[in-house]
């Protein structure tokens, strides 16, 4: 079994990233051959600062290591450093219809907002398909917001195989059992996100205890005064209960007040993040080590990626 998990090098990673993607990745190391991919090529679909992009890419790699990703078992790569990603991207564009790419939700939303739209924004779901298919992975952990893109990857793989002969593994989307969908603490009907305008609803993985305490103390609840799991009528309280369960691994107990619940959530979150902060500080003192890990990851995955591209080139009719 081979699995790919992708991370965008934009913004600061938060508790939702840890519980929803990073922790399942760490757990999958026990049973699957895993690749952790930092999608720095995707970050160029919008205006960006080049030095900041490089820092963010290294920052995500550092955070993955701090969260427990073992580079001896999981290859950590940046997709820009594996040229087969970009080469396969073009080959897959040759079997993708314009309408398929234009229907992707991110392109529809951002192009409808007006202003300049980069061509790469239209085609980046095809690059995402290349990211997946080039590594012959069987499984891709995916949330609701990315399911449309995975379906495009499956469609393109199936179409290519039917037209040109069996070339690609058709991957399955999986939702890890341990993955938690963490909502924004200030807007509990929306997912915790790096891109939200306000940081009031996010808990960063490097937030110190006092910031964690302040953020959770201000978390939106309601006026009902009852602590119960009810996502429709009490989304804020439900989010706090689910964060507590995700952090401790045990069902939340009974609470008579929101204050007591927030106190326990604060303690559980800080206990979870304390070793991550400590390990991140150690790694930050040796940035050369993180670059070495990325170089080793690239060396490990390239032979298989190159074999996939060679199969695709031969199947579609290109010279050796």
Query: Which residues lie across from 7 on neighbouring strands?
Result: 38
Nearest to 142 by CA among 24, 11, 63, 243: 24
**Catalytic residue, candidates 2, 108, 191, 298:** 191
**Catalytic residue, candidates 2, 194, 262, 278:** 194
Instruction: Look up 110 and say whether it is catalytic.
Output: yes
Q: Let me know: does 149 contact 183? Beta carbons within 8 Å.
A: no
Using only C-alpha atoms, what is the Rg of the chain? 21
d(CA 107, CA 45): 10
Instruction: Look up 108 and say whether it is catalytic.
Output: no
Q: What are the catalytic residues?
A: 110, 191, 194
């Amino acid at each position: 079994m081979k699995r790919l998990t992708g991370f965008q090098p934009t913004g600061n990673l938060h508790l939702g990233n840890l519980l929803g993607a990073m922790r399942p990745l760490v757990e999958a190391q026990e049973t699957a051959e895993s690749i952790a991919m930092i999608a720095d090529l995707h970050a160029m679909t919008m205006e960006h600062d080049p030095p900041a992009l490089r820092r963010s890419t290294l920052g995500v790699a550092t955070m993955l290591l701090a969260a427990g990703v073992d580079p001896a078992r999981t290859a950590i790569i940046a997709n820009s450093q594996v040229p087969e990603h970009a080469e396969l991207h073009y080959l897959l564009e040759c079997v993708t219809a314009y309408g398929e790419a234009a229907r992707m939700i991110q392109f529809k939303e951002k192009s409808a907002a007006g202003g300049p739209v980069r061509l790469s924004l239209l085609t980046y779901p095809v690059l995402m398909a290349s990211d997946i298919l080039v590594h012959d992975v069987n499984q891709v952990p995916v949330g609701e917001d990315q399911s449309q893109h995975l379906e495009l990857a499956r469609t393109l793989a199936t179409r290519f195989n039917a037209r040109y002969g069996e070339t690609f593994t058709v991957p399955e989307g999986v939702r890890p059992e341990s993955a938690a969908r963490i909502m924004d603490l200030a807007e509990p009907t929306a997912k915790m996100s790096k891109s939200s305008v306000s940081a009031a609803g996010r808990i960063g993985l490097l937030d110190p205890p006092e910031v964690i305490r302040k953020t959770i103390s201000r978390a939106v609840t309601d006026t009902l005064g009852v602590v119960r799991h009810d996502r429709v009528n009490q989304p804020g309280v439900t989010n706090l209960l689910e964060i507590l369960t995700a952090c401790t691994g045990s069902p939340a107990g009974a609470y008579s007040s929101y204050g007591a619940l927030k106190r326990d959530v604060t303690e559980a979150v800080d206990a979870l993040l304390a070793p991550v902060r400590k390990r991140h500080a150690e790694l930050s003192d040796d940035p050369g080590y993180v670059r070495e890990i990325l170089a080793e990851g690239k060396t490990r995955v390239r032979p298989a990626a190159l074999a996939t591209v060679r199969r695709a080139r031969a199947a579609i009719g290109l010279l050796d």
